[in-house]
Structure 1
């Protein structure tokens, strides 16, 4: 029997518990079902579907709105007992198993989303086996690198500030340490590369390819998840390289709206709230912001995990009766986070956090830590240990 142990390097998970991932998928499905059914899209393509926002979107739409889904991601399967692959690999498999039990189509593509070949593979599947059209395209890709689809050049993104050095507190989850970090400003080349990897260019390429192939339904919707944050994280996020990438997504969204005009389609930037993801754990200073925010919002009853947040977005906002759009046409489910009272209390709390109290009940550190562990199948509610062999894991079909 394989012994599953949580292992970290800094704030990066090095291990996975596949059985825990299966239970976490079921927990999210149960949450959606508890909210009841809702009217939504029926044929959905999710680019970046194996974890966090993308996975939660897929679960909400499948088990809340009865949607058939295509999920695209780049994950790795088990090679040995010491290298069991990625959590996203198992998330894809266990989602598919659960969806198919309820008669839903759940197709997984494990390929490079940036390549032209992948786009054509997905298009062929839509035409031949997915009734020919999709009515929602979700772009939720989080990648640190991108291979240029035309030249093959490897492009890397960076998480840095722009034009200024930023100094602030951070936490190392592996060492359980609270420390001061210095973030150096990005070069012009680093800014451009980050926009290329994390901006809206690939989203636009996807929508052009899907439109040209005539696989977009009349009234098609497409969404891209963004994050703006507040003054508390603006120096390293909104005004940093990540902010530049998010701004590019807004530019590309406008172009997509023009592209979809003749089929009455709509492109929407969804400004999501701060949640615990593999990406958010490695953004400089961000875990400490979350530690403050989570404590404040948990006390107010408004803290959300990705499944809670995404289910609210689709159930009540995009396909519901309570959308909140700003003057730029962005959907703003982050209004709970940006409530002035919440932000004021968060700032006050963050200013109190130090090396002696960061891991006490004063902060939301325990919430962040547990939610981060859940991403890899550890500390999952309802988890029961099962005996499973490497061969059985390798035999799972995605």
Structure 2
């Protein structure tokens, strides 16, 4: 037990610690936003890789509450100690597991590096023993590095443009005050591009499918989806046309390869999500400013990760059309990519400067959203009260057998 009062620690507008009670409250709010279950049909057996944050967390919560999902979630999170807090995803997973148990869901969580062979073996063994076959795999990993299990080489991803340097406006916070900054990034070389593809592309997704197929764990009608993003032409130089975009293209190419190898017994898709404030997206230069402007433009039309996850699940469950584009991708980003919305965002982007920032961009909203990723700035949480930092990880898959 380690009860203590915790104060937020910043690095720029990001945080280097988390708040257990705040993280718990964030999960509760997401759970409450999730649609109630419809009917009493048994839920699918699912494996969610990247279940502790962003779209993966939202897909896990929606799957558990609205679709009676069973199965396994995998995340890689640091534990808390008497001197430091755990990763925010650790606390979110602990609360998600409690809600799953309260809902009667047969769902457990594994903490480990999903890129590794050991975690694949443990997950496959649990799924085989507990469920026999799985119906769905949701792949939602954002990581800074990956060790290739075949070669032992460690690949480090970079966020850089390709071809030419990138210069753009960016949002910075000086002593908590939002300001317009100037960004200059040099173009990536071929080695950096390839390393980013190795980390964030489809290689590991393919390995997971191969591991499951080798043990005959894919049910008839199996589906797998991997989360991707396209975004605006404003962010294209640093995202879709940059190193991350090269990785996302590889992910989409991998979806077609997996789909072909399943040979009619299952399907594989990439899912193009809309913009969101996540721990992964906040690391991308210029995304903070773009997202703040987008929220100012769209207001109540904003769709958070729970909204998008609910939309995705309804399509996967057959309650709505898949909504494929001409490249076979499931598109959840229509609200963001609406031509009228993008025209307004472009106009605001072009005019935003120190004098117009307050009127053009919803910077207060953005800052609050970032805080909540780590359990800070959550309404109703008493941050003066002592909080328990050494929250246990949910019972391991082996103990659930």
Q: How does 1:126-141 map to 2 (within 5 A)?
A: 126-129=127-130, 131-141=131-141
Q: CA deviation at 1:364?
A: 1.8
Q: Deviations over 1:8-38 (max 9, x none)?
A: 2124320101111111111111111458669
- Residue equivalent to 1:366: 364
Residue 39 of structure 1, CA deviation: 6.8
Aligned to 1:164: 164
Residue 323 of structure 1 contacts residue 331 of structure 1 at CA under 8 Å; is this kept in 2? yes
Question: 1:397 Cα shift?
Answer: 3.9
Whole-angstrom CA distance in 2 between matches of 1:270 and 1:295: 25
Equivalent residue, structure 1, for 2:143: 143
**Closer/same/farther in 2, CA of residues 339 and 394 from structure 1, 3 Å limit:** closer
Give the secondary-structure state (helix, strand or coil) at the position aligned to 2:181. strand
The question of whether the paired residues in 1 share the 8 Å contact of 2:51 and 2:75 is answered with yes
Contact 2:161 2:243 in 1 (8 A): yes
Contact 2:82 2:390 survives alignment (8 Å) = no
Q: Map of 1:193-232 to 2, 5 A cutoff?
A: 193-232=195-234
| Residues 223-267 of structure 1 deviation map (CA, whole Å, 9 limit, x = unaligned) | 0011111211111111100110000011111111122125x2000
Q: Determine helix, strand or coil for the equivalent of 2:351.
A: coil
The runs of at least 4 consecutive aligned structure 1 residues that moved more than 6 Å come to: 37-40
TM-score normalised per structure 2: 0.92
Q: SS of the counterpart of 1:351? A: helix
Structure 1 contact 8–174 (Cα < 8 Å) conserved? no
Aligned residues: 391
Rounded Cα–Cα distance in structure 2 between residues aligned with 1:335 and 1:25: 26
Alpha-carbon distance in structure 2 between the residues aligned to 1:224 and 1:311: 16
- Mean Cα deviation higher: 151-160 or 313-322: 313-322
SS in 2 for 1:29: helix
Cα gap change, 1:40 to 1:156, in 2 (>3 Å): farther
Residue deviations 1:42-80 (CA, integer Å, cap 9, x gap) = 211011111110000000010011111311111001123
SS in 2 for 1:337: helix
Asked if the contact 2:323–2:331 (Cα under 8 Å) also holds between the matched residues in 1, the reply is yes
Q: Does 1:101 align with 2:98?
A: no
Task: Name the residue aligned to 2:398.
Answer: none
List gaps (5 residues or longer) in structure 2.
396-401
The answer on whether the counterparts of 2:86 and 2:390 sit within 8 Å (CA) in structure 1 is: no
Could you say which residue in structure 1 is the equivalent of 2:379? 381
Query: Which residue does 2:50 correspond to in 1?
Result: 48
Q: Secondary structure at the match of 1:393?
A: coil
Q: Secondary structure at the match of 1:70?
A: strand
Aligned-partner SS, 1:239: coil
Q: CA RMSD in A?
A: 2.0
For the structure 1 residues 174 and 19, does the alpha-carbon distance in structure 2 shift closer, same or farther, using more than 3 Å as the test?
farther
Per the TM alignment, residue 88 of structure 1 is displaced from its structure 2 partner at its CA by: 0.5
SS in structure 1 opposite 2:301?
Answer: coil
> Which TM-score applies when normalising by structure 1?
0.93
Question: Secondary structure in 2 aligned to 1:168?
Answer: strand
Q: CA deviation at 1:357?
A: 4.1
The alpha-carbon distance between structure 1 residues 182 and 331, as it changes in their structure 2 partners (threshold 3 A), is: same
Structure 1: where are the runs of 5+ without partners?
Answer: none
Distance in 1 (CA, whole Å) between partners of 2:246 and 2:39 is 37
1:24 aligns with 2:35: no
The 3-state SS of whatever aligns with 1:24 is helix
Distance 1:5 1:389, change over 3 A: closer
Q: Determine the structure 2 residue equivalent to 1:393.
A: 390
1:344 positional shift: 0.2
The 1-side partners of 2:387 and 2:380 are apart by 21
Given the superposition, is the C-alpha separation of residues 318 and 244 from structure 1 closer, same or farther in structure 2, using an over 3 Å criterion? farther
